[in-house]
Structure 1
Amino acid sequence: LDPNRLPRTIDGLINALTGELDDETLLIIDDAHLIDEQPELRALIERFIMAQPPRLHLILAGWHEPDSPLIATARLRGEALLIETADLLFTSDEAAQLWQQAGKTLPVDFDELMSFSAGWPLALRIALDATNWRSALGLREQKSKPALDDYLEREVFARLPTPLQRCLQRSAGLRWITPDLCAAIDPTFNSSELIAELRRRRLFVEPFGEHGVRFQPLIAAWLSRRAAADPEWVHLHRKAAVYFQQHGDHESALYHQIAAGDPAAVTTFLPLARTLLAERRAEAVLDWMRRLALTGDETPELIEIQAAALHQLNRLEAALATYRRAERAFAASGDRLGQSRCLRGQAAIYLDTVQPAPATDLLRRALKLLPRQCGAERIELLLMQAENWAN
């Protein structure tokens, strides 16, 4: 078609429809999101909206709402119905019905599947046919590339304008995106505008904090795989770790240190683990140890931390054995304070299970190892002894 004749063609179509339509009619324009990249197409669609025939209802179908003031005005006037992404997502009941109709048993971790998939129909369809939905959706390491990756590369990434493609490439290894963090990673980012565009396009993001966004779990896992294949991301992970260290977010710093293969990650982990234990987050401690590929035998402090986490999780036999291992390691290095802490840890387990006899000897030995100047620690041990005598 001759671009110069398109306006006349649209006007002719409008006139014909106005005169010929004798019933309510739907006109569907697919891939309407493309008008954002084609101003001449936007002008034609807006011309059609302004002179829309009375019996004609226009449906714009696309990946996101086109950036058009006329469409925004129609929404404000109540003349447009917006069907959002959330309206198309499966609820847990709807997903359970899908499994029932397919004659399949719900996964035992169905709630986790719904959390990770966010009800996305394509993800649920893949999971429905999979033996292991975590592997099929790319949430577990495997030799072959998840089927979902090809779809995301072709249907999501390749369709984005170049600035947004670069935004995803430069933020692929991040757990979330904020303007300050993006600026620390790459000062050339116009991060506020890009984050606003991610939100407008509803690119599998959800709000994070006041100004940031984070990707939904499946998309975050895909982006992490992209980052892992990009050599530049080792450097970017290190920059992100420094940023989070400076802002006191040691858990996020540890995440990026591990991703960068930074040996300093263990040094970050030790004080973080004690904080997590104080917050009763023992499972997080053991999870970080798995990510660090720590067996617990590297240093006496790590063995002690592992024992404390097992104790919090009520895995008492394993905790006792681990505390004993830590005690021996501290003794071998001549660390009397460490030995005392591990003896106190074992005694605490016996106190929890009301076994005063073994606790008595452990508390006595722990107190004997403590120097006189450790007043607070000695008071704690004496209070535990009093509790034990009461038992």
Structure 2
Amino acid sequence: MSTMGETSLAATKLRPPPPPGQLVRRSRLDDLLDRGVGGQARLVLVSAPAGSGKSTLLASWLAGRPEAVAWLQVEESDSDPVRFWSYLAEAIGQAHPIAANDLKAIVVGSNGDEFVVVTALVNQLAAVAGPLVVVIDDYHLIDTAGVQRGVERLIELCPHQVTIVLSTRIDPPFRLGRLRVRDQLAEVRGADLRFDADEAAGLLGSPALDRALLDQLCGRTEGWAAGLVLAGLSLERAADPGGFIEAFRGDDQFVVDYLRDEFLAAVGADDRRRLLETSILDQFNGALVDAVTGASGGAAWLNDTASANQLLIGLDRTRTWFRYHHLFRDLLRLEAHQAFPERVPGLHARAAAWFEAQGDHGQAIVHRLACGDLHKAGRLLLVHGPRLIAGGQTETLRGLLDRLGEVAKKLTWCALMYGWCEYISGRYARAEEWLGIMLDAAPEGFDQTPSISLRVNIQLARGDVAAALGTARQVSASLMAYSSDLTTAAGAAYAWAGQAGEARRALRLAAEMAAADEIRTAQVLALVYLAVVEFDDGHAASAQSAACTAVDTARRFGLASYHGIAPAYAIRARTGEDPARAHADATHALSLARRASTDLALGFVLTACGDTLIGLGDPAGEPLLAEARAVFARCPDPGIAGRYLARTQSRHGVAEARAGRVAVLAEQLTERELAVLRYLPANLSQRDIASELYVTLNTVKTHCRAIYRKLGVGDRRAAVQAARDLHLL
């Protein structure tokens, strides 16, 4: 999830912020939160505007609670599902002895699929003995629908000893009304967070103010914490506290005007310069401050400033990492762009160089983009992009590539990574377009091997087994030299093409490689395709054993809800002897396959489950076969899956069809018929084939009829698969 350079910075996300120097205990709010955790609440929602003191309240409250605490400080980049769930798993793992590494592997392997991840996380939490409070701070920064659905599902399914606490500026898009009716929601709102006079006195730490002035100040600010903090910055040097309070307001516009005209005007020139220059950073330590400002003594400056100014917030107890209050940061950035706009790109360039030296390529790329150095950002993606893909953070990668704009089309590796992003999102046509863009950008002699895995996966996703088989054969002689991902893809192509020997060799190797590399989804998929091979080969016992191995392995890895194992459940249903279990497996296979499967896998599962249910006397089986027909109709070449459907329809009398594996030719094909046969897997019309062979359209039609008759099939797709069975293709 993180490179070595990111470790210390990422750790600040997983700890509550240390208390400010002027901490105010707010017993009335602590009591509200206590009742939420001590009662039946599944969710404690702290929802209030910026600057209300939400994070400080929660951190100070939790410091006095006996429960274990998992804390996640959300950033804008955490909307990436894999990034969010990985960090949440790590946060929980630090609070309780759960298998966080196993959870993170599931997150990455499923690309952050909320159904898979939440199921695995809830199973882990169910084994937690003691109470646990899980806090997600700044939750309003999450804007991904899948993450929102997952968190709501987590709240619904969490065991009773776990309480979820969300701190946010806006209410999440959950069904809060249902939680209220069930008395499962505790709420702290903006009105609750307003400081009264006694609390304001503690926050300001100013004994000079009498009760009447405190009441007046709370009225001016409406008890808003940020407004009170700003007032406190000036009260000590105000000659007339009463007059100052009379003029002070606590609304947003006043905050901006006040910070600009009063606070920034009052600080020394050196401090003002450092404040403005470091405003380009989201978080910083002393070394980073020095690198960006070109000065020295950054660590001491940060500690001195934080001691005197509550708008600079410490992120760890060692007072190493800091950030500005969001309102303050926004103003500083605005002032920097007005004061020295020509210097801002150079500041970002310095920050990028520092992060790159620390090995944090993600932050380096962000700052390269901010300073407009798109080509350097693109070159850094050559290193960082594959890490993001391997870590499943395709949404993060897509965001970076989008910011590169036209530059991404000129760099082969960026085009390839764009292709992977589109493929993983299910946009196969766009993924194929990016492969074309990659080739257009490629220099002479470019090695296309890195793109083969993506190409095979796209071809299989589109249901074009012939094309996938042709691509896989380019690397079949040296699979040991490639990744488990490519080996799995090649094995899948052979499996769907009915090439059992080649499929077994590639898939067994892929399973071994993935196990060694701990790439669990690749290992599970290899086992699933091995079950498909055994099933197609007609060995029911072997298919049942292989399917059970795939399912059991997936369950051991927490991937029982992963849509990729749907074919294994379907095969186990079709080859099982227990009717009740077969029905349950078929039902589960269908629910998984309908979520995200490719057409080949979906059509196969529909067929196998339809076959099973018809055999069990369930009328729901026949419509599944009709649905499978519709799915395969959009596949250029569905391979053995199409043949299995034809055989199943024939066996159940659902449709007239010639079916079954062709053992021998009824009659040998002529040379001209073989020539036509070789063109059938391609996406060419009969007219196109005639043009390629320099013959008439009628001649090609005549040859096709002869080919179908001799192979014992009724259409072009069946002819292609029969020819593969007989090793004619």
What TM-score do you get using the length of structure 2 for normalisation? 0.32
Gap regions ≥5 residues in structure 2: 1-19, 31-44, 53-137, 143-166, 171-189, 195-220, 225-251, 499-531, 533-603, 605-729
Per-residue CA deviations over 1:229-266 (Å, capped at 9, x if unaligned) read: 42333333222222211110111111222222223121
Query: Matches of 2:451 and 2:441 in 1, distance apart?
Result: 5
Per-residue CA deviations over 1:23-78 (Å, capped at 9, x if unaligned) read: xxxxxxxxxxxxxxxxxxxxxxxxxxxxxxxxxxxxxxxxx979xxxxxxxx9xxx
What's the secondary structure of 1:189's corresponding residue? coil
User: Residue in 1 aligned with 2:410?
Assistant: 298
How many residues align? The count is 270
Contact 1:241–1:254 (CA<8 Å) still a contact in 2? yes
User: Residue in 1 aligned with 2:398?
Assistant: 286
Query: Matches of 2:317 and 2:437 in 1, distance apart?
Result: 40
Query: Matches of 1:373 and 1:330 in 2, distance apart?
Result: 27
Q: What does 1:1-391 align with in structure 2 at a 5 Å threshold?
A: 92-93=46-47, 111-112=140-141, 115=168, 149-186=256-293, 188-200=295-307, 201-207=309-315, 210=318, 211-229=320-338, 230=340, 231-262=342-373, 263-294=375-406, 296-312=408-424, 314-317=425-428, 319-326=430-437, 328-329=439-440, 335=446, 336-347=448-459, 349-350=461-462, 355=463, 358-368=464-474, 372=478, 375-377=481-483, 379-388=487-496, 389=498, 390=532
Query: Matches of 2:436 and 2:345 in 1, distance apart?
Result: 36
Per-residue CA deviations over 1:201-244 (Å, capped at 9, x if unaligned) read: 21153415841102244444443444444233333322222221
How far did 1:326 drift? 4.1
Query: Matches of 2:296 and 2:169 in 1, distance apart?
Result: 29
User: Residue in 2 aligned with 1:12?
Assistant: none
Instruction: Indicate the larger mover: 263-272 or 232-241.
Output: 232-241
Contact 2:416–2:435 (CA<8 Å) still a contact in 1? no
Contact 1:320–1:349 (CA<8 Å) still a contact in 2? no
How far did 1:82 drift? 6.7
Structure 1 residues 156 and 298, CA, compared in 2 at 3 Å: closer, same or farther? Answer: farther
Higher relative contact order (CA 8 A, sep 6+): 2
Contact 2:420–2:454 (CA<8 Å) still a contact in 1? no
Structure 1 residues 296 and 166, CA, compared in 2 at 3 Å: closer, same or farther? Answer: closer
Contact 2:290–2:296 (CA<8 Å) still a contact in 1? yes
**1:289 aligned partner, one-letter code:** L
**1:111 aligned partner, one-letter code:** H
How far did 1:299 drift? 2.9
Structure 1 residues 160 and 330, CA, compared in 2 at 3 Å: closer, same or farther? Answer: closer
What's the secondary structure of 2:282's corresponding residue? coil
What TM-score do you get using the length of structure 1 for normalisation? 0.55
Structure 1 residues 208 and 257, CA, compared in 2 at 3 Å: closer, same or farther? Answer: farther
Instruction: Indicate the larger mover: 230-239 or 272-281.
Output: 230-239
How far did 1:179 drift? 1.3
How far did 1:309 drift? 1.5
How far did 1:275 drift? 1.0
Query: Matches of 1:178 and 1:340 in 2, distance apart?
Result: 43
Per-residue CA deviations over 1:318-339 (Å, capped at 9, x if unaligned) read: 5444445346537885533255
Structure 1 residues 302 and 93, CA, compared in 2 at 3 Å: closer, same or farther? Answer: closer
What's the secondary structure of 1:264's corresponding residue? helix
User: Residue in 1 aligned with 2:593?
Assistant: none
Query: Matches of 2:386 and 2:400 in 1, distance apart?
Result: 12
Query: Matches of 2:365 and 2:481 in 1, distance apart?
Result: 34
Structure 1 residues 370 and 150, CA, compared in 2 at 3 Å: closer, same or farther? Answer: farther
How far did 1:367 drift? 3.1
Query: Matches of 1:364 and 1:245 in 2, distance apart?
Result: 41
How far did 1:278 drift? 1.2
Query: Matches of 1:173 and 1:288 in 2, distance apart?
Result: 18
Structure 1 residues 170 and 209, CA, compared in 2 at 3 Å: closer, same or farther? Answer: farther
Query: Matches of 2:328 and 2:399 in 1, distance apart?
Result: 21
**2:394 aligned partner, one-letter code:** A
**1:190 aligned partner, one-letter code:** G
**2:355 aligned partner, one-letter code:** F
Query: Matches of 1:224 and 1:251 in 2, distance apart?
Result: 21
Query: Matches of 2:492 and 2:477 in 1, distance apart?
Result: 18
Contact 1:307–1:318 (CA<8 Å) still a contact in 2? no
Contact 1:241–1:252 (CA<8 Å) still a contact in 2? yes
RMSD of aligned Cα (Å): 4.3
Contact 1:343–1:365 (CA<8 Å) still a contact in 2? yes
Query: Matches of 1:382 and 1:369 in 2, distance apart?
Result: 8
Query: Matches of 2:298 and 2:423 in 1, distance apart?
Result: 44
Per-residue CA deviations over 1:332-381 (Å, capped at 9, x if unaligned) read: 8553325524412414635xxxx4xx144224224326885873256344
What's the secondary structure of 1:297's corresponding residue? helix
The structure with the largest alpha-carbon Rg is 2
